[in-house]
Structure 1
Amino acid sequence: MIVRFIIYGLFGWCMEIFWTGFGSLLKGDIKLTGQTYIWMFFIYGLAVFLEPIHESIGHLNFIVRGGLYTVLIFIVEYATGWILRKVLGVCPWNYGGSKFSVNGLIRLDYAPAWFIAGLLFEKVHYGLERISSVINI
């Protein structure tokens, strides 16, 4: 479980750096500057707890699965942001400037991105399952 947590954390970091790098290009930054936060490694690592959900809803069509993942990701993003704000006094991400923000902790207009991310994490899970049949991870 620890190895999978690390893999999900690293995958999430990479995904976020690509996302923010692409976003910087759209703002005119040809260096494609991407960023993330150390906290995000641990938050993305929590995807290990979605594995049972992947397996229980795998028979449903991708729209239902992606929608469920979007809702779950919003819940985790909101909860972890709220906890960090309470413990540290600040949340590393701040969506307060967006009209789609909920308490500065989530952005509802990111739903399509989280929809895709959830399906990607599902693919990583099934890939890890195939690999673990050869090696123990």
Structure 2
Amino acid sequence: MGKRFIIYGLSGLCMEVFWNGFWALINGDINMVGYTSIWMLPIYGLAVFLEFVHNRIRHLSIIARGGVYTLLIFFTEFISGGLLKYILGITPWDYSGSPFSIYGLIRLDYTPVWFVVGILFEKLHDKLSEINLLTNN
């Protein structure tokens, strides 16, 4: 489980850097500078627990599965963001400026993003299964 936690964490970090670089380009930064926080590694690593969910809902449509992942990611983002903000006093992300924000911790307009991320993690889970990384830690 430890190796997969790191794989999911690093995958999430890479996706976030690409996401931020893409939006930098949209906002006129031709350098496409992407960034993230190392605090995000363990948060994205928690996607390892989506494997259990994936195994249980594999038979559902992609819309249903993506919806479940989106809700779980929102929940994880809200709880982890709240713990970081209100217990440690740090904010690796702050959505306060968005009209779609809930307490600055999640953005409801990110629903399609988290839907896609959930499906991508599902595909990663399948690939890890193929290379037998699930049973060999």
User: RMSD between aligned alpha carbons?
Assistant: 1.4
- In structure 1, stretches of 5+ residues that fail to align are none
* Residue of structure 2 equivalent to 1:110: 110
TM-score normalised by structure 2 residue count: 0.96
For 1:60, what is the secondary structure of its paired residue?
Answer: coil
* Contact 2:8 2:44 (C-alpha < 8 Å) held by counterparts: yes
Alignment of 1:27-42 (within 5 A): 27-42=27-42
The Cα shift of 1:3 comes to 0.2
Alignment of 1:120-131 (within 5 A): 120-131=120-131
* Residue of structure 2 equivalent to 1:57: 57
The runs of at least 4 aligned residues of structure 1 exceeding 3 Å deviation read none
The sequence identity of aligned pairs, in percent, is 57
- In structure 2, stretches of 5+ residues that fail to align are none
Counting matched residue pairs gives: 137
For residues 128 and 87 of structure 1, the distance between their equivalents in structure 2, rounded to whole angstroms, comes to 34
Q: 1:25 to 1:58 in 2, by over 3 A?
A: same
For residues 134 and 124 of structure 1, the distance between their equivalents in structure 2, rounded to whole angstroms, comes to 11
The Cα shift of 1:90 comes to 2.9
TM-score normalised by structure 1 residue count: 0.96
The Cα shift of 1:50 comes to 1.1
For residues 39 and 133 of structure 2, the distance between their equivalents in structure 1, rounded to whole angstroms, comes to 31
